[in-house]
Amino acid sequence: MKADTNDKALIIGVQQRDQKALYALYEKYSGALYGVIIRMCKDSGLAEELLQESFLKIWNKIDQYHPDKGRFYTWAYRIARNTTLNAMRKESLLIQSEDLSVYKDRKEEEEPWDVQRLNGQINSLEPHHRQAISLVYFQGFTHREAHEEMGVPLGTFKSYIRQALKQLREGYKITGCALLFMNHWLGL
């Protein structure tokens, strides 16, 4: 990832219509958002359009972002997620009037790689915890849809999410400590 930039200054810049500030936010967050969008829609062409659309919305709606209510990434993620879900709903309506087998063939040809492959700390989770997190955070499922997808009661599913987040927290804490130790040991 690129070097950390001061989000607050960049957001003020975007609010003042500074295009460079937007491009800096794009440099910092486009990969994370693109990772979410493409895992949700499973179509790289559509994902590219949706990423651009999401950043245009960020540019046009930046005044609606309030830093005291949460991090910039969380706000941008919601925009990207809603934009993608809306596009998928529209595409789903179109597919209903087309030959579904042709559509599936086309998608398989376009996306030969596994977009569902996850990286980082999430891979240290137990499979059912990993799946729960993946469904909700990377595939755009609501809790209700996700528990049906996994075939477990809603309460159990919520419990999976809580346990998964707790384990992730532990994992990031350890990684953070390890990085701190290494930096200290390397004299950085």
Partner 1 sequence: MTKEEAIEQGYLEAYLLGELDSEKMEALESLLSRDLGLRNTLNTLEADFEKMAMDNAIEPPAHIRENLKKAIEQPKVRLPYRPDLWAAASLALLFAITAFSLFLRWQSTQEELEILQQDNLFVRSELEEIRSKNLEQEVILERVASPEVVPVFLRGNQRLTSFKIVAYLDEASGQVWINTADIPSPPEGRSYQMWGDVDDHMVSMGVVKPEGDWQAMTYLPEASSLNVTLEPEGGSEEASVDQLLAQTIIP
Binding site for partner 1 (CB under 8 A): 1, 19, 22-23, 26, 30-36, 38-39, 47-48, 51-52, 55-56, 59, 69-71, 73-74, 77-78, 81-82, 118-122, 133, 136-138, 142-143, 158, 161-162, 165, 168-169, 172
Q: What's the closest the beta carbon of residue 109 comes to partner 1, in angstroms?
A: 18
Q: Which is nearer to partner 1, 60 or 97 (CB)?
A: 60
Q: Which is nearer to partner 1, 9 or 31 (CB)?
A: 31
Q: CA 125 to CA 175: how far, in whole Å?
A: 14
- 104, 150 in Cβ contact below 8 A? no
Q: What's the closest the beta carbon of residue 98 comes to partner 1, in angstroms?
A: 27
- Single out the residue of 108, 128, 140, 120 nearest to residue 33, CA to CA: 140
- 16, 45 in Cβ contact below 8 A? no
The encoded tokens of residue 129 equal: 């915890």
Q: What's the closest the beta carbon of residue 128 comes to partner 1, in angstroms?
A: 16
Q: Which is nearer to partner 1, 92 or 119 (CB)?
A: 119
- 33, 80 in Cβ contact below 8 A? yes
Q: Which is nearer to partner 1, 113 or 185 (CB)?
A: 113
Q: CA 153 to CA 126: how far, in whole Å?
A: 18
